[in-house]
Each structure stands twice: as C-alpha cells, then as structure tokens.
Structure 1
Amino acid sequence: MKYKILIVDDEPPARKLLSDYVSKIPDLEMAGTFKNGEEALRFLKENSVDILLLDIRMPLMTGMDLLNELSDKPLTIFITAYEEYAVKGYELDVIDYLVKPVSFERFKKAVNRAIEYLSVQVEAVESPDKLDYFFIKTDTRIVKFLYAEIQAIEAQREYVKFITPTRKVMSLVSLTGIANALPGEFVRIHRSFIINMRHIDEIQANEVVIGKDIYPISRNYREEFFKKLENRKLI
C-alpha cells in the first residue's frame, strides 16, 4: 500500500529536496507540493492525504494556522528552521518535528514512524472482509469493535469518533487511514464522515439518517455513495 504525502513549504529548494526524498521511499506517493498554507488548505478541503510535511513560518498562513483549520488532520511532520516551535508543534499532536537542514536518514526515520502508525491503526491479521471485528487504540485502552455494530465514524479535529447504538469511542487516528481499512459496507460521504450502509434508515436529499442522527453527503463523495446505494436497491 502506498501512502499519499503532501509538501507545504514556502522555499523552492526545500520543496525540491523533500520531493527528492519522497521519491526514494517506495511506500510514498506524492500528492502535491504547495508554497503556502492557503493553497494547501484549498487542496486539503477537496482531497485526502495520509502524511503532511509542513513548514511552520510561511507568509499568509502559518503551518500551525493550517492545521487548526483542518477537521480531519493528516499525520503531520513539521519541518522548520526554528527549534523554538517544537513544544507548540507537539501540542498539535504532530508525529515528528524536523529542523532544517534535514538529512535523508532523519527524514526517513520520521516518515517510517508515520507509516508504522498508519499501518497499525486498524489491527487485523487478515482482510477486514474476512473478519467481523477489529481493534482500535485509545489513550489508555485497546477497544474491540464488531464491524456490524458501527453506525458511523466521525472526524473531530485530530481525533476520530466511532459511533455505535450503545457507545461512542474517541481515538487519535486518521479518518483516511481508517477508510482504507474498512470493508465494503462502509462508505465515505463527507470529509468528516464515514457511514455503515447497514444502518441507514433514510436518505433525504443530501443527508443520511441513522437513528436520531443526520449526516451530510458532500458533493465530492456523492457519486461514490449513490453508486454503492444503487447496487443495494431492489427497485
């Protein structure tokens, strides 16, 4: 599996160096490069990535401002020339903090940490289509879920909420990483929502009703959702 990675840095030489580093790691797929936070934010509102390489001090919008604007944050590695931002960076739950100039070995170590984190978000020894359960890490526990019991999964800033009829559990994971590991009855209908089609009660215009909860269907995910729905309709 390849993980999509995005580079945001206002310095052209830094973008070129990081792009070269990315090309040397087989597990990574370049999603794009941007010179400022505003351009990156527009892209991330329409597209999902797994890993974000993010400079902090940039014109127009800082890296920290960009992260604060995202409801579904990718795993983020800060790359900057200013060590004093390290503490603030970890408050935002970035997975690593690299100080320029960055060697390839240090870059590789940070990226491998992110890849390892993504690969164990959903722990299963076989394909999820063959198992009926999975495990998710929370701050203090490892929680077991049955796929069939999950009604929806919601991104809340850097956390993801797993919603069942009887409980709601928060975990520090990526919604994109979760989406890639779920079986076929799950479908993403919004940047912030994945729903289980088994639990749908009604569909009203651009909303899905599950019990007392209503989930919006965004334009970017509408086609995929209704394509899956068509395969399950009797008439």
Structure 2
Amino acid sequence: MKLKCLIVEDEPLARGVMEGFVAEVPFLEHVGSCADAFAAMQLLKDQPVDLMLLDIHLPKLKGLDFLAALQHPPMVIVASAYHEFALQSYEYNVVDYLLKPIAFGRFVVAVNKALDKKNSSVQPLDNPSAGQELQVNVHKRKARIAIDDILYIESQRENVKIVTTSRTVLTRYPISELEKELPASFLRIHRSFIVNKTKIDFYDAHDIEIAGKDLPIGRNYKTQVLETLAGKAGLGSVK
C-alpha cells in the first residue's frame, strides 16, 4: 500500500528537502507540492490525498488555520521550526509534529505512524442477522462493532474512541477515514466527534447530548449540523 502524499511548504529549500525525503520512502507517493494553503485546498478537491506534510508558517493562511477549515482532512504531519505549536497541533489530531531542521530518520518514524493508521482498516459487513457492522484493528486483533449500537466516535491524540451502548473500543484508524465507512445516520459535528443521529437525546446551538454526555458542536460544523437536526424527525428534544 502506498500513501498519496501532499507537501504544503512555502520555502523552496525546505520543500525540496521534503520532496527528497518522500522520494526515498517506498510506501510514499508524491502527488503534489503547494506553496500556500489555497493551492493545497484546490489540490485536495481535485485528487485523493492520504497524508499531508504541512508547514505551520504559510503565507495568506497559516497552517493550523488551514487545517481547521478542512472538514475532511487527510492524515497530517506538521513541520515547524517552533516547538511551542506542538500542543495546539495535536488538538487537530495530527499524526506527528516534526521540528525543523528535520532529520531523515525522524521523518521515517513519522510517516510509519501514518502508514500504521492507514493499515488499521475498517471493513463494513453486511450480515442480515446482525445488521451492518464495522471491523477495526485493536492491538493486532479485529473488533466487531454493530453500527446501530454506536453512540458516538471521538478522535483523540493517538487513538479514535468508539463508544457503543455496551462498551468502548480504541483504535488507531483515522476518524476522517472511519467517517467514509459510516451510513447517513451518522453526522460529523466537530473535527473530533461523529455522532449517531438516532441516539441524540438533546441538542442546542452549542452541544449535543447522548447518553448523558455533552458533545461540542464545532464552529465550522454548526450551520450544517443545526440544519440537519432541525429537519430530522424522531430526534430527542431541543435543550
């Protein structure tokens, strides 16, 4: 399996170094390089990307602001000369944070993390007796999860937490990839949360309550979420 890789870096020298690194790794496929966030947005619309190597200090729109604007970002490895942005970057569920100048060995460690996430595949099953299911990798074993039992999904730093009516499952599969495997009864409400619309008890303009848990509605998702819920019959009450 190859990861389709996009480089977003405004400095030509640093961009060239990153392109050289990508060329040296057999499981990476370089699909493009962009000098600013807006060019990267267009490329993401035009072709599939598995992994984005993202500089923080971009012209026009900074790297983390660009990441916040993406509703369905690929996996991301952030590169920066400043360590103080690391904690904020992990709030966006990045795979890794690389400090410039980047050593090739450290780069290989980071992209291997991305490959591990990609290989944690999700397989939808059609089982007439049990309904639709997901299979996710959990510590080299497969966990089978009935889709109808899922309450919500939360992306954390290194893991994605799938909370069901009876248990919680932790996997390293990216939430953006998991979202693609879910039916229309699920709704992305935040960069870190997907909810099962049929399990919503209460909601307002700020959060959604499921089984006593308040889940925030992200600013970039609010309009779509509220329009969807307002038109959805059979949901719980408005707070």
The answer to whether TM tops 0.5 is: yes
1:132-175, CA deviations, whole angstroms, 9 ceiling, x for partnerless residues?
751366xxxx962358x79xxx9x9x99999x9xxxx9987446
**Pairing 1:56–2:20 present:** no
- Per-residue deviation, 1:115: 0.6
Q: Which runs of 5+ in 1 are unaligned?
A: 193-210, 214-235
Q: What TM-score do you get using the length of structure 2 for normalisation?
A: 0.58
Post-superposition offset of 1:68: 0.4
Q: How many percent identity over aligned positions?
A: 34
Distance 2:85 2:134 in 1: 40
Partner of 2:129: none
Shift of 1:72: 1.0
Cα pair distance change 1:17/1:173, threshold 3 Å: same
Aligned to 1:135: 136
1:79 corresponding residue in structure 2: 79
SS of residue paired to 2:26: coil
Map Cα deviations across residues 199-228 of structure 1 (whole Å, 9 max, x no partner): xxxxxxxxxxxx979xxxxxxxxxxxxxxx
User: Which of 32-41 and 45-54 deviates more?
Assistant: 45-54
CA contact (8 A) 2:73 2:176 kept: no
Query: Compared with structure 1, are the counterparts of its residues 13 and 51 closer, same or farther at alpha carbon in structure 2 (3 Å cutoff)?
Result: same
The CA RMSD measured in Å over matched residues stands at 4.6
Q: CA deviation at 1:51?
A: 0.9
Report the CA distance shift for 1:143/1:128 in structure 2 as closer, same or farther (over 3 A).
closer
Any residues of structure 2 matched to 1:16-95 within 5 Å, and which? Answer: 16-95=16-95
Offset of residue 73 of structure 1: 1.7
Judged with a 3 Å threshold, the aligned counterparts in structure 2 of structure 1 residues 136 and 212 are, in CA distance, closer, same or farther, namely: farther
CA deviation vs aligned residue, 1:117-139 (integer Å, no higher than 9, x gap): 211143x7xx979xx751366xx
TM-score (norm 1): 0.59
SS at match of 2:78: strand
| Structure 2 Cα separation of the partners of residues 46 and 174 of structure 1 | 21
Q: Following the alignment from structure 1 to structure 2, what is the Cα–Cα distance between the partners of residues 105 and 20?
A: 13
In the alignment, the residues of structure 1 paired with residue 19 and residue 183 of structure 2 have an alpha-carbon distance, to the nearest angstrom, of 32
> How many residues were matched structurally?
185
Asked if 2 retains the 8 angstrom alpha-carbon contact of 1:50 and 1:174, the reply is no
How far the C-alpha of 1:81 sits from its partner, in A, is 1.1
Rounded to whole Å, the distance in 2 between the matches of 1:84 and 1:3 is: 28
Higher relative contact order, chain-length normalized (CA < 8 Å, sep 6+): 1
SS for the counterpart of 2:144 is strand
Q: Which runs of 5+ in 2 are unaligned?
A: 127-132, 189-231, 235-239
Residues 1-235 of structure 1: pairs in structure 2 closer than 5 A: 1-122=1-122, 134-135=135-136, 144-145=144-145, 173-174=173-174, 177-178=177-178
- CA distance in 2 between counterparts of 1:14 and 1:48 reads 24
